[in-house]
Chain A
Amino acid sequence: MTNTSQPDAQHKAPSRLAQFWGSDIMWKFRHSPVAIVAFIFTALLVLSAVFAPLVAPHNPFDPASLNLLNGFTPPMEPNAFTGDAFLLGTDDQGRDVFSTILYGMRVSLFVGFAAVSLGLILGVSLGLVAGYFGGIVDAIIMRVADVQLTFPSILVAMLIFGIAKGVTPPEYRDEMAIWVLIIAIGLSDWVQFARVVRGATLVEVRKEYVQAARLIGRSSRSIIFGHILRNVLSPVLVIATISLALAIIAEATLSFLGVGAPPTQPSLGTLIRIGQQYLFSGEWWILLFPAATLLLLALSVNLLGDWLRDALNPKLK
């Protein structure tokens, strides 16, 4: 086994796909049943969310297609008034639960990806800057990060959400809610990236190639983004994957608490919040299926991230 996780593509020249398939990481992937199963589930969920309009039997956001009399239909049983049957039953408004889950997962995944991207861009940039320049810049950035780490990230997200809600006019709140959610989760998430990238940058900065680049007069920006960035990315990939699972859960938590995605654009968390009202009365399917989907999604992404961490960790070889 070779001992590098960086692409060593230049010398051999089979097709890129074959190269990738034969790479170290793919070899590990093919030999990890957990990773394969997690990947399949993740891919399945993400694809069905992305193609929800094609997969879902109904569009739950088209109010004209709803029939209130279909409300509270149990899974796989015909409705008493209309005779319609639904795979996973319907909610209080007669919406097909299966369809709402697919559409809800879109919102959840979109918020998750966007929030992680925001946290990643912010955290990686700040981490690079802190690690490269050191001194007072480093001190300021990392102390801010330390302070933020002392608060639970969900509280930080709620704080940001609360402020944003206070300053946006009420008629735009529903439209803005998703973006505010992304910013709230993204901003509560950058510290992880910044810390890891700063640590890796500190190591890289002392290496010869950086010294050489400095000697030939390359600008700091070109050194940071042209040279160091590509050498600190692999841990970032790991954190990003695990953060995605956490961001999806954070979004669900916020939406469950009623400060996230509005009922007009329900995410999985919103669906769970709606469903738990019917837990006592026995309409279990309204809660159970979105909750199980959330669990499956977060678990798959998390396992994938865990596996990636182990696979990319040179110390575990």
Chain B
Amino acid sequence: MKKFMLASVLALLASQGAHAETFKWAGTTDPQTMDPHAVNSAPVLGFLNNVYEGLMRRGRDMSIEPALAESWEALGTDGWRFHLREGVKFHDGSDFTADDVLFSYERATLPQSDVASWFATISDVKIVDDYTVDFLTTAPNPIFPDTIANFMILDRGWAEANGSTVPAKDAENFATRNTNGTGAFKVVERQPDLKTVLEPFDGWWEEATHNITRAEFTPIQNSATAVAALLSGEVDMINPVPTQDVARLSSNPDVKVAQGIEARVIMLGFGHEAEELKYGANAGDANPFRDARVRKAVNHGVNVDAIVQTIMRGAGEPVSQLVSSTMRGYSDAHAARYEYNPTLAKELLAEAGYPEGFSFGLKCPNNRYINDEAVCQATVGMLAQIGLDAQLEAMPVSNYWPELRADNYDMYMLGWAPGSFDAEHPIRFLVTTPNPEKKLGSWNFGGFSNERIDEILPLVQSEVDDTKRQALLDEAAKILQDEAGYVPLYVQALLWGTRENIDLVQRADNFFILRWVTVN
């Protein structure tokens, strides 16, 4: 597969010639769907931000700015009113109206949608007129507009005509491979795992500032291949640059490396709900991870500094919470990680009744986060030193998420970037008790559950006073840390490599926005 992919990339590059404004870029992960409501992951939403648009969008510095809504205002404490932009067209030429917003809301809140929890506090959406729409909330929600920048609008007529009114998460429908957005670019060719071709949309409502006439995305899983492709000019940009090649690429005059800290926290999760272990020699035994002491032992057993220093070569920052220190609501009071202390970890295990340790299964992706598989391998080694025998299975993301949804793990790796840049976001998705009806905890695969946190979440969401809000978030951070619900590892680095003639904007959420690219 990889071979064919490479061959077709080479063939493609050979046939394309040197048209200056054709921009080619490569990433490790292919967006697994073109449906903006089907999978809430950065590769999908980041890519589709070029094709679809939301009511608002994030600017270069991550600030919220108007997109399909020109302005919005709070309706007291009842909700929010959005005034929509007039004269916006979808790629197929149909008009954008309030009805499309209502339709997209209904579609995004279906049980099959992966983004339903964005609307957990919304009770109803009402069309006022063709270009005005109200989102009514169950409780005051001061940050709601900040949280829906990735809520992308589909055309009702197009979706209905093509049988795609329901998002297809693990299956496929028309919207999985085809798009009809209002964004600056339209998809002209889509070959999953092979290439995706975009062209500028002539009827876009805003004046384009980029100079791209055609853009091609190719997933290249092998990091050395990606670097070779960048060095030889076969691609104009790669994301990420392998950590080991940053130094070399930075010293090469033909290429540039853009470095930053991503908002993404890499963590390990536990099966909290599972009664039994599922993998390894102890499969079928009672699940030790239900005991907080065992979870703390794992926290003490992982040497995050060594991972960052060796595997990430310094590109990353150890982290104590599910958000990085630059996010709103980060708890300064809980900035200390569990220290690396294998002796203490062994004591905790013995105390919990596992002096000899036990064997279990660890699932990891191998093409999603920077050095994900290597980090998991290192974790296996470190856990072995405290007596835990982790059976590692690493797989591509396209298989990985279904495995997690099917609860096929004892421990797993997860990276989380809060779309709202706020500490409330991971609580809503990863920490609060999963509740499909209320659209909560949709990525809390292990089923961590704590009554007080479930109480805190709605309070945080409706609290207008910053100090009180921070106190609530601090309390949640403390509970999560005391319970060792996750093992927060480190904040991932942003490492983009480009040819020297490319100007672009590196946004902290690792979204690559084509309309800010200039090919010189």
Cβ contacts under 8 Å, B307 to chain A: 68
Establish whether residues A277 and B279, one from each chain, have CB atoms under 8 Å apart when the complex forms.
Answer: no
Establish whether residues A69 and B374, one from each chain, have CB atoms under 8 Å apart when the complex forms.
Answer: no
B428, chain A: closest CB distance, angstroms: 31
Establish whether residues A280 and B224, one from each chain, have CB atoms under 8 Å apart when the complex forms.
Answer: yes
Establish whether residues A63 and B381, one from each chain, have CB atoms under 8 Å apart when the complex forms.
Answer: yes
B311 interfacial by beta-carbon distance below 8 Å: yes
B31 interfacial by beta-carbon distance below 8 Å: no
A58-77 CB contact bits vs B (8 Å, 1 = yes)?
00001110101101100000
- State A258–B2 Cα separation when bound (angstroms): 9
- State A71–B310 Cα separation when bound (angstroms): 6
Stretch at the interface among B154-162, B191-199, B243-251: B243-251
Establish whether residues A281 and B248, one from each chain, have CB atoms under 8 Å apart when the complex forms.
Answer: yes
Establish whether residues B2 and A93, one from each chain, have CB atoms under 8 Å apart when the complex forms.
Answer: no
Cβ contacts under 8 Å, B22 to chain A: none
Establish whether residues A174 and B393, one from each chain, have CB atoms under 8 Å apart when the complex forms.
Answer: yes
A257 interfacial by beta-carbon distance below 8 Å: yes
Interface positions, chain A 44-92, Cβ under 8 Å from B, are 62-64, 66, 68-69, 71-72, 81, 92
The listed residue with most A CB atoms (<10 A of its CB), out of B279, B393, B403, is B393
Cβ contacts under 8 Å, B374 to chain A: 92-93
Establish whether residues A280 and B245, one from each chain, have CB atoms under 8 Å apart when the complex forms.
Answer: yes
- State A174–B378 Cα separation when bound (angstroms): 18
- State A269–B383 Cα separation when bound (angstroms): 27
A235 interfacial by beta-carbon distance below 8 Å: no
Interface positions, chain B 405-433, Cβ under 8 Å from A, are 408
Cβ contacts under 8 Å, A279 to chain B: 224
Establish whether residues A68 and B244, one from each chain, have CB atoms under 8 Å apart when the complex forms.
Answer: no
Among A263, A276, A283, point to the contact of B377 (Cβ < 8 A): A263
Cβ contacts under 8 Å, B244 to chain A: 277-278, 280-281, 283
A280-B227 CB under 8 A given contacts A93-B374, A174-B393: yes
A175, chain B: closest CB distance, angstroms: 10
- State A72–B309 Cα separation when bound (angstroms): 11
Establish whether residues B2 and A92, one from each chain, have CB atoms under 8 Å apart when the complex forms.
Answer: no
A33 interfacial by beta-carbon distance below 8 Å: no
Establish whether residues B242 and A93, one from each chain, have CB atoms under 8 Å apart when the complex forms.
Answer: no
Establish whether residues B311 and A277, one from each chain, have CB atoms under 8 Å apart when the complex forms.
Answer: no
A72-B310 CB under 8 A given contacts A257-B2, A276-B224: yes
Interface positions, chain B 267-304, Cβ under 8 Å from A, are 279, 303
Establish whether residues B378 and A93, one from each chain, have CB atoms under 8 Å apart when the complex forms.
Answer: yes
A274-310 CB contact bits vs B (8 Å, 1 = yes)?
0011111111000000000000000000000000000
Establish whether residues B245 and A281, one from each chain, have CB atoms under 8 Å apart when the complex forms.
Answer: yes
A77-118 CB contact bits vs B (8 Å, 1 = yes)?
000010000000000111000000000000000000000000
Interface residue tally for chain A (C-beta within 8 Å)? 27
Cβ contacts under 8 Å, A171 to chain B: 279, 361, 393, 408
Cβ contacts under 8 Å, A94 to chain B: 310, 381
B20 interfacial by beta-carbon distance below 8 Å: no
Establish whether residues A170 and B381, one from each chain, have CB atoms under 8 Å apart when the complex forms.
Answer: no
Interface residue tally for chain B (C-beta within 8 Å)? 38
Establish whether residues B279 and A71, one from each chain, have CB atoms under 8 Å apart when the complex forms.
Answer: no
Cβ contacts under 8 Å, A219 to chain B: none
A264 interfacial by beta-carbon distance below 8 Å: yes
B380 interfacial by beta-carbon distance below 8 Å: yes
State the total of A-B contacts with C-beta under 8 angstroms.
75
Establish whether residues A64 and B3, one from each chain, have CB atoms under 8 Å apart when the complex forms.
Answer: no
B32 interfacial by beta-carbon distance below 8 Å: no
Output the nearest chain B residue to A64 by Cβ-Cβ distance.
B384
B42 interfacial by beta-carbon distance below 8 Å: no
Output the nearest chain A residue to B311 by Cβ-Cβ distance.
A92
B340, chain A: closest CB distance, angstroms: 11
A162, chain B: closest CB distance, angstroms: 9
Cβ contacts under 8 Å, B3 to chain A: 257
- State A280–B380 Cα separation when bound (angstroms): 27
Cβ contacts under 8 Å, A258 to chain B: 2
B307-328 CB contact bits vs A (8 Å, 1 = yes)?
1011100000000000000000
Interface positions, chain B 235-265, Cβ under 8 Å from A, are 242, 244-245, 247-248
Cβ contacts under 8 Å, B373 to chain A: 263
- State A279–B245 Cα separation when bound (angstroms): 9
A157, chain B: closest CB distance, angstroms: 13
A62-B384 CB under 8 A given contacts A69-B309, A93-B374, A278-B244: yes
Cβ contacts under 8 Å, A66 to chain B: 378, 381, 384
- State A303–B361 Cα separation when bound (angstroms): 45
B399 interfacial by beta-carbon distance below 8 Å: yes
B471 interfacial by beta-carbon distance below 8 Å: no
Among A64, A72, A81, A280, point to the contact of B248 (Cβ < 8 A): A280
A260, chain B: closest CB distance, angstroms: 13
Cβ contacts under 8 Å, A278 to chain B: 244
The listed residue with most B CB atoms (<10 A of its CB), out of A68, A170, A257, A263, is A68
- State A282–B251 Cα separation when bound (angstroms): 13
- State A258–B373 Cα separation when bound (angstroms): 14
Cβ contacts under 8 Å, B309 to chain A: 69, 81
- State A273–B383 Cα separation when bound (angstroms): 26
B381, chain A: closest CB distance, angstroms: 4
Cβ contacts under 8 Å, B380 to chain A: 63
B306 interfacial by beta-carbon distance below 8 Å: yes
Interface positions, chain B 367-408, Cβ under 8 Å from A, are 373-374, 377-378, 380-385, 390, 392-395, 399, 403, 408
A68-B224 CB under 8 A given contacts A171-B279, A280-B248: no
A277-B310 CB under 8 A given contacts A93-B377, A170-B393, A174-B393: no
- State A265–B107 Cα separation when bound (angstroms): 46
A68-B382 CB under 8 A given contacts A277-B223, A277-B244, A280-B227: yes
Having A68-B378, A171-B279, A263-B373, one finds 10 other A-B pairs with CB under 8 Å, namely: A63-B384, A64-B381, A64-B384, A66-B381, A94-B310, A171-B393, A174-B393, A278-B244, A279-B224, A283-B244
- A-B pairs with the 8 shortest C-beta distances? A64-B384, A281-B244, A63-B384, A71-B310, A63-B381, A66-B381, A68-B306, A68-B378
CB-defined A-B contacts under 8 Å, sample of 11: A63-B381, A63-B385, A68-B307, A71-B311, A92-B310, A93-B374, A93-B381, A258-B2, A277-B222, A280-B242, A280-B245
